[in-house]
A and B are shown apart, each in its own frame.
Chain A
Amino acid sequence: MRIAVVGILLALVHVLEVTVLNSLRIGGVSANFMVMIIVSFALLRGSKEGIAVGAFAGFLYDITFGGIVGYALVTYAVIGYVCGKFNKNFYRENFIIPFLCTLFSSLFASFSSMFLFIMRGKLNIIFFLKTIIIPELIYTITLSLVVYQLTYMINEKLELHERKTRNIF
């Protein structure tokens, strides 16, 4: 049940990101919705599920648009794993840990993309920071406040459902 719901959610977000959300770009920069979802599920459920969600989200990106299959997969899986480590000291009413996690995850994802450019000799890091990384970071953090409410709700429903099925046996 959980696998199906989260899988469908990720596929849906990916399809929306590829089609409709492209028209939500501000100054040509779009937010990274996958990072928001990975961070929220990792914080709510721990590093194991964080890795699974991150790997699946990265895989979706890799098979549709990625140049090197596995690059986004590993990046997102690392984000899921590290954020999942904060699961133990995370309260659902707390906003500071999700905020910091999104900040560093978005930075990490951007830097890993930037690494590919640096390897090809594009060394204008200040330009990258100014026009792509920082705007994307701000956009992602702002929208994450909305997305987290959604993922919390979905997770709560799933946990309720799991508790019910456990009571039968």
Chain B
Amino acid sequence: MKLSQKTKKKIIVIGGSILIVLSAVVVVGKKYDIAIISSMADAITYPLQKTVNFVSSGVSSVSRYFTDLDTLITENSRLTQENERLIYENTILEQFRNENNQLKGLLEIEQRYREYSNLGANVIGRDPGNWYKVFSIDKGTKDNIAENDVILSGGGLVGHVVEADLFSSKVLGIIDDRSYVSAKVVRTGDIGILKGDIELTNKGMCKMEISIESEVVKGDQIITSHLSSVYPPGIPIGIVEEVTIGKNGLTQYAYVKPFVDFKHLENVLIIKNE
């Protein structure tokens, strides 16, 4: 096959660029859990794997029928014993559950663990500038995401959706300077405003403004309050790291370290705002 110098050069360039693009896709896909290449490969290998599995399991089950009788008898007696033990333990646990519900009702903390309809998503982009903490996630209006839906990660509050597009949506993090959350100190029950602050953004922290009479101390847990129209009550936010008194003597500021690591945010959970 004779190729002119020019076509050869073109083929090399095209091949090289395809390789680079493919490797970039794989690397980026791995980082953000987008399985493009692997799902394509899946379509080819899945039927093959299925047939091989079917044949091999059929053959082995026939031969095993004769060899396993002995072990089955001993296994059966062992399992009956274990079953009796488990039934006994289960009744005890049932008692614990009832007791727990009663105590929770007394403490009125059942709302802390209420279940919400949720949906997982991946973070696919971050604000390239140095001023704001805005993320984009890979779920949009086609997945019924709407404005003001709440975003969680690893059990902690991340922020809320400020703009929902067709395939992606924009999330305002709680450490962003423009973010305000109505929050509550779990131990004392005091309600304050949790604000993002530009001076703390790069440290991944935020600031809570709270009344001077509150006895908030270092180590207190902060959750969302029942006053907010955006955030459902009882979502954990973070831990107080330091408390200072404001200049006017009427407020104190609690510096809160969120449970969420905003630098390495990858998988998030979306909660519908009903």
Contacts and interface: CB of A to CB of B under 8 A. Distances in A.
B130 A29 contact: yes
A15 to B, nearest CB: 8
Of B126, B128, B178, chain A has the most CB atoms within 10 Å of the CB of: B128
B124 interface: yes
B20 to A, nearest CB: 12
A122 B198 contact: yes
Contacts of B32: 19
Majority SS of interface residues in chain A? helix
B250 to A, nearest CB: 18
B132 interface: yes
A31 B98 CA distance: 58
B28 A19 contact: yes
A132 B130 contact: yes
Contact of A20 (B28, B129, B132): B28
B267 to A, nearest CB: 16
Nearest to A63: B165
A18 B125 contact: yes
B268 to A, nearest CB: 16
Interface string A91-120: 000000000000000000000011011001
B160 interface: no
Interface residues of B, number: 20
Given A20-B28, A22-B126, A132-B131, A117 B177 contact: yes
Contacts of B178: 67
Contacts, number: 61
Majority SS of interface residues in chain B? mixed
Of A27, A29, A65, A132, chain B has the most CB atoms within 10 Å of the CB of: A65
Contact of B131 (A22, A64, A113, A124): A113
A131 to B, nearest CB: 7
B129 A32 contact: yes
Nearest to A72: B129
A117 B198 contact: yes
B134 interface: yes
B136 interface: yes
Nearest to A20: B28
A27 B202 CA distance: 8
A127 interface: yes
B125 A113 contact: no
B110 interface: no
B261 interface: no
A65 B170 contact: yes
A19 B202 contact: no
B127 interface: yes
B143 interface: no
18 contacts: A14-B128, A17-B128, A18-B125, A18-B136, A19-B32, A19-B124, A28-B202, A29-B130, A30-B129, A30-B130, A32-B129, A64-B125, A117-B131, A117-B198, A127-B199, A131-B199, A131-B202, A132-B131
Interface of B: 28, 32, 124-132, 134, 136, 170, 177-178, 198-199, 202, 263
Q: Closest 6 interchain pairs by CB? A: A28-B202, A18-B125, A17-B128, A65-B127, A22-B126, A132-B130
Given A28-B130, A113-B129, 16 more contacts: A18-B136, A19-B124, A22-B128, A28-B263, A29-B202, A30-B128, A64-B136, A65-B132, A65-B134, A65-B136, A65-B170, A67-B132, A114-B131, A117-B177, A122-B177, A136-B130
